[in-house]
Each structure stands twice: as structure tokens, then as C-alpha cells.
Amino acid sequence: MTDHELAEDGVPRGQGVLDLLVDLLDLERIEDDIYRGVSPEHSSVRVFGGQVAGQALVAAGRTVPPERGVHSLHAYFIRGGDPSVPIVYEVDRIRDGRSFTTRRVVAVQRGKAIFALSASFQTTEPGIEHAEEMPDVPDPESLPTHGERMTPDLRAKFGAWADRPRPIDVRYVSEPPWLSRETGPRDARNQVWMRADGKLADDPLLHVCVLAYASDMTLLDAVLAKHGVYWGTDKVMGASLDHAMWFHRPFRADEWILYDCASPSASGGRGLATGRFFTRDGRLVATVVQEGLLRLVR
């Protein structure tokens, strides 16, 4: 499949579209510790948060020995990014220790910071282990694709967003909030299966960066579901404010991963969501926490 071909559900996806995402994460090196990234042609009015997080993590990882894998990141979305302008990523080598490496990355547009990330990398070490169990959910193959969920009425309502190229195959386990809103609020929870829609190279950093990209998708759905509203269909305005991830175990982003999300609180025009990533065989591989700006426009 090329990036111009459509899947059966009418949405551009598959290896060609995934290759475009990999190209998006393959930053241009300007000079030592300075990189430049761009946004895809099919961008909205603001740079997707997962894109800038993934690109910043790529920039940090390019300055770290490959035997040290990223185990955590903490980031703040400072300003909305302009997709028509390249993003410059400046890496600060905070520390290179015996076991840990710390990097700070600032993403800049027009001379102003739009995003800041701190990431920690660690050599592989043995130690104690335990993990929460994966929820009991249907297999991803039994669930409809995103495009199959899009009825003609929904396509008309969402416009170009409904048919945007999707390098990540997302399949809702729980009812999507744009459908459940028709019947009213439900539990502050959202579950999806997701995977890169094609084959990725055997580079652990690439798989981590693709998961970081995907982690900004559907996470705040858990907040919206509780209140029976959704982007584009209700007068709700939102944006990611901060984002933290912890990577526990190795995984492949091109294999099915369950994204189990919940929202413990919403207040002050902000909503908090937590997410857990499980591989198909039940291993907990990553945890994410994000706070988002959520305003109901009167």
C-alpha cells in the first residue's frame, strides 16, 4: 500500500502512511545537538502534541549511546505549534553518569519555546519485578477500525479529520466518546487497541518514539466520556498541558498494544488522565499521565 491508496474503510493507512510517520520522526541534524523537524501536510491548525513529543525524544536519543534505553520522560506543552513552520530542537546534555543519562530538549519556533522535555536513559539492570494485570478485553481483530466507525453523518460532521491518513491503527474497546455522547455521560474510562499500521525497523528508540507519538491519541477521551462531550461535535476546547511517560519493559510498537485510560479528576478547566500500555500477552510496558486544558465554550 502506498500513501495514496485507501484501506477498505476509506481511510489512508498501511505501510506507506506509516513510512511517512517514520520520515517525520527522522529529524534533520543542523549541527551538534541541534535538530530540525517538520509537520505533515495533513496537519490541523496546531501541531499535534504527540508529534512534537516524539520528535523531541528522537532528538534526545540521538545524543545517547544506543545501549541506554529511555525509561522516562516529562514534558510541558508551552505554546501551540504552527505546522507550517519547521521546529528546531535544542538538546542540552544535562548529565552522563555511570548508569543514567539525562537530556533536556527545547522545541523552538520563531525564536520562542513551544515545548520542553526532560528524558532519562538507563543501562539495562536486573532487579525486583511486579506489574498490574491487563484488563480482560476483546481481541483487536474483532473490533471495527476507526474508518469503519465513521458513518456518513459523522464524516460530514468531522470533515477532513475523519479521513486523515492514520499511521496508527486504533480500535476502540469501549464505545468511542463521539458515539457514547449521544446517550449521555459514562464512566471516566477509555480503552483502545493500537499499533503502528505496518512494519517498523528493529530500533528500540524508534518504537519508543512511535509509542510516545501515539500516547497523545485518545488519552483525554477518558475525561470527555465522563461528561458526554467530544471535540468537534460539542463546544469544547482543549489542549495538552503536560505529559509524562515511564517505560517499564521492551515492546514493539508495530504489534498490538492495549491502551487502558482513566481520568481520576477534572477541575479548574483542566482534566487529568492516566494510561497503561499492555502488550497482547499481558505485559505492562509503559505508563502515561497527562493533564489537558478542557474548556466548555458557552
Q: Do 217 and 168 meet the contact criterion of CB atoms below 8 Å apart?
A: yes
The reply to whether 290 belongs to the active site is yes
Q: Do 287 and 258 meet the contact criterion of CB atoms below 8 Å apart?
A: no
Q: pTM for the complete prediction? A: 0.92
Please give the Cα distance from 251 to 296 (Å, whole number): 38
Catalytic residue among 55, 191, 215, 290: 290
Give the three cell numbers for residue 68: 541506554
Catalytic residue among 174, 240, 254, 263: 240
The confidence score (pLDDT) of residue 5 equals 56
The reply to whether 142 belongs to the active site is no
Average pLDDT of adjacent 10-residue blocks, the chain of 298 residues: 53 88 96 96 82 97 96 97 96 97 98 98 94 96 86 72 82 85 80 97 96 94 86 79 97 98 94 97 98 86
- Cα within 13 Å of Cα(171), Cβ side: 20
The reply to whether 109 belongs to the active site is no
Please give the Cα distance from 128 to 81 (Å, whole number): 41
Q: Do 228 and 181 meet the contact criterion of CB atoms below 8 Å apart?
A: yes
Please give the Cα distance from 110 to 164 (Å, whole number): 27
Q: What angle do CA 221, 224, 226 make, to 5 degrees?
A: 115
The confidence score (pLDDT) of residue 33 equals 97
Catalytic residue among 169, 197, 216, 221: 216
Please give the Cα distance from 229 to 236 (Å, whole number): 7
The confidence score (pLDDT) of residue 2 equals 46
The confidence score (pLDDT) of residue 228 equals 81
Phi, psi of 212 (to 5 degrees): -60, -40
